[in-house]
Chains A and B, each alone.
Chain A
Amino acid sequence: MIKSANYTRVGAKDRRSKMDIAAYETLTQAVQRQAAETPERTALIVLGETGEEFEISAGEFHRQASQYAWALAGAGIGAEDLVILVLRHSPELLFAFWGALYLGTIGSIFPFLTDRLDPEIYLERVRELVIHARARAVITYPEFEPRLKSLLAGADCQVMSVADVIQASGQPSAAQSWQSFSAEKIAFLQHSSGTTGLQKGVALSHRSVLNQIRAYSRAIELNSQDVIVSWLPLYHDMGLIAGFVMPLVAGVPLVLMSPFKWVVDPKTLLWAIHQWRGTLCWLPNFAYNHMARVIRQPDLKGLDLSSMRAFINCSEPVYLHSHAVFASKLALHGVKSEMLSTCYAMAENTFAVTQNPVGAPARTDWVSLRELQEQRRAVAVEPGAPGSTAMVSCGFPIDGTQVRIVDEGGEILPERRVGEIALRSDCMLSGYYRRPELTEEAIRSGWYFTGDMGYLAEGELFVTGRKKDLIIVGGKNIYPQDLEAIASQISGVVPGRCAAFGLYDAELGSEKIVMVCEVDEAGLAAQGYKSLELELRKRVVQQSEVALSDVRLVSRRWLLKTSSGKVARSVNRDKYLREFGQEDDIEVE
């Protein structure tokens, strides 16, 4: 690794790649060839949380990744074995992920511990994943090694620390070459968070990932002048593909910063774009609001974002208002409306499904809200007409991906009719890892049923909502059943009598989570409302990635059930809004 002292400004030397993605059959070939042909070219610039900068060349990346592959091989880990990476957002994580690929093992990135999560519960989650997915190795830091080793004592899984990797015998050279695999081989898994998400490892082949990179590169006109700037975590498809694998394979320089640093100091992303003349940046919708809200005008003095081609809004519902506040905050710094692009993506399609043409603002479709909600039709009306809502286009399907809208019976719906979004492509998942029954449920006759609702108009996709009760907070998928299971374990809360749901918060540009739980009289009397509420909030924060925005403890039989006896989340969401939304102490904006 080269410390910032030796830093050379990107673009100062002509050492760009030739963008020759078509020639490769596997992801590993692409990176090995770049290491051999243009070893000095800057592949990555990683910005640490305390301001340090690391510039990593294509050759250095290959050497470091090879070291991980070497260490895994030395520990007896072989092709097809699952390797879980429990590492911070750091160069080590990037090297370990690629080392696992070189060796032909299947790598998967586990979200790293945050300061709110309980470490003991966190490591127990790692153990659960290792056991049910039958992982053969975990790579982590020395401080977690003893505890994980004892937790995994009975499992056929090696716990390795990054310190062991550095000491592994045999120093791979730059010329180290790793054998090639079939394009159909599983390259890696993507998981979403929570207990439910960990059950569904999305297995992607080299072929699928390369097909995605080829098609998506065309859609965004990725070229040798591009510089990608990202703060996105790598355990999520947007961060992993757009913010790591695609730039690496395509030979486009990537400037990567920490998600934790970005949240507390989002201006650092904009200054990184300024410094490295960034051209592309992917962001979830809430990020536009967050930056517009908390960045102070004096901190933007001299900032120039005119190098940007597109800020691409992806991974949670896109709102016109979020683009407007962002553009207005940064108009003086070179942000133009045609830079505000959109994308619809999911791990099951490797990443992108649709993309708005870069260089033109995403189209806004004004439709009648009533027709949309009651008749499930997108009836176009005059912009801003009373009773209308603005739908922002997610663009056109990328090459090799077909999108259709289907009704509950699976029949194809015409344009402007709302139904479930289904897709078929050459970059789809091979299946959910070791879960054939889940794969069979999701893929029918070659079509993947996304669970998202939307409509097509003039070939463009508009996403209107979700079929499932999934909550999306800050771009993260949160399964309400995970939160309800946490609440059900608290003494005083009636087990199984809880409902978690999301409510859109226009100020945040994302959903906030509300939880309503039935409590028994005795439990309430023993603990008191307030302490029970705080206990519930605390447990959720320690065991999940999110905080609850509102909690209501209610008496027995408050929650409404479906005919099958399940707590119906959407019905209880409406009841919550009726009962507590009108309360004078809740501000409904």
Chain B
Amino acid sequence: MDIEAALSDYIRSQVLKRPKYELGTDDPLISSGLIDSFHLVDLALFIEETFGVRIDDTELNAETFDTLSELTKLVRQRGG
């Protein structure tokens, strides 16, 4: 499955609990609070389990990634 689609699915269904939410690839995720700090940890676990890509605790912030496209790029760069 396409990385971006899988991440988008996960965020909409598991974090926002709104599968039909229109999540744009450049919508801010962390700086907008769409993903709060608890769910950020869940997201990192999902990425590790699904793509085998590790995102360190210290990277769970808007500087590392803040949008779906930035997150997809990060996962791809690390071999996901």
Contact = CB atoms under 8 A, between A and B. Distances in A.
A102 to B, nearest CB: 35
B32 A534 contact: yes
A263 B41 contact: yes
Nearest to B30: A116
Contacts of A115: 61-62
Given A293-B42, A534-B32, A538-B31, A264 B18 contact: no
B34 interface: yes
Given A585-B19, A586-B18, A264 B60 contact: yes
Nearest to A584: B20
Q: Which of A263, A266, A548 has the most CB of B within 10 A?
A: A263
A585 B20 contact: yes
A537 interface: yes
Interface in A552-589: 584-587
Interface string B32-51: 11111110111001000000
Nearest to A286: B38
A546 B36 CA distance: 8
Given A115-B62, A294-B42, A508-B38, A534 B17 contact: no
Given A530-B24, A585-B19, A537 B57 contact: no
Given A290-B38, A530-B22, A541 B45 contact: no
A112 to B, nearest CB: 15
Interface residues of B, number: 28
A540 B45 contact: no
Contact of B33 (A286, A294, A474, A541): A541
A263 B38 contact: yes
Nearest to A260: B37
Interface string A502-531: 000000100000000000000000000010
A296 interface: yes
Contacts of B32: 534, 537-538, 541
A585 B18 contact: yes
Interface residues of A, number: 29
Interface string A293-332: 1101000000000000000000000000000000000000
B60 A116 contact: no
B44 to A, nearest CB: 8
Contacts of A296: 45
Q: Which of A116, A290, A550 has the most CB of B within 10 A?
A: A116
B17 A587 contact: yes
Contacts of A265: 57
Q: Which of B30, B37, B38 has the most CB of A within 10 A?
A: B38
A380 interface: no
Contact of B19 (A293, A549, A587): A587
A116 B28 CA distance: 12
Nearest to A535: B32
A528 B71 CA distance: 25
A494 interface: no
Contacts of A540: 33
A553 to B, nearest CB: 14
A348 B28 CA distance: 39
Interface in A446-489: 474
A547 B45 CA distance: 20
Contacts of A547: 33-37
A286 B38 CA distance: 10
A586 B18 CA distance: 5
A541 B22 contact: no
B33 A264 contact: no
Interface string A267-307: 00000000000000000001000100110100000000000
B31 A294 contact: no
Contact of A538 (B18, B28, B40): B28
A105 B71 CA distance: 49
Contacts of B13: 587
Interface of A: 115-116, 261, 263-266, 286, 290, 293-294, 296, 474, 508, 530, 534, 537-538, 540-541, 546-550, 584-587
11 contacts: A115-B61, A116-B31, A116-B33, A263-B41, A290-B38, A508-B38, A530-B22, A541-B33, A546-B36, A547-B36, A547-B37
Interface of B: 13, 16-22, 24, 27-28, 30-38, 40-42, 45, 57, 60-62
Given A116-B30, A264-B57, 10 more contacts: A116-B33, A294-B41, A294-B45, A534-B28, A538-B31, A546-B36, A547-B34, A547-B36, A550-B18, A587-B19
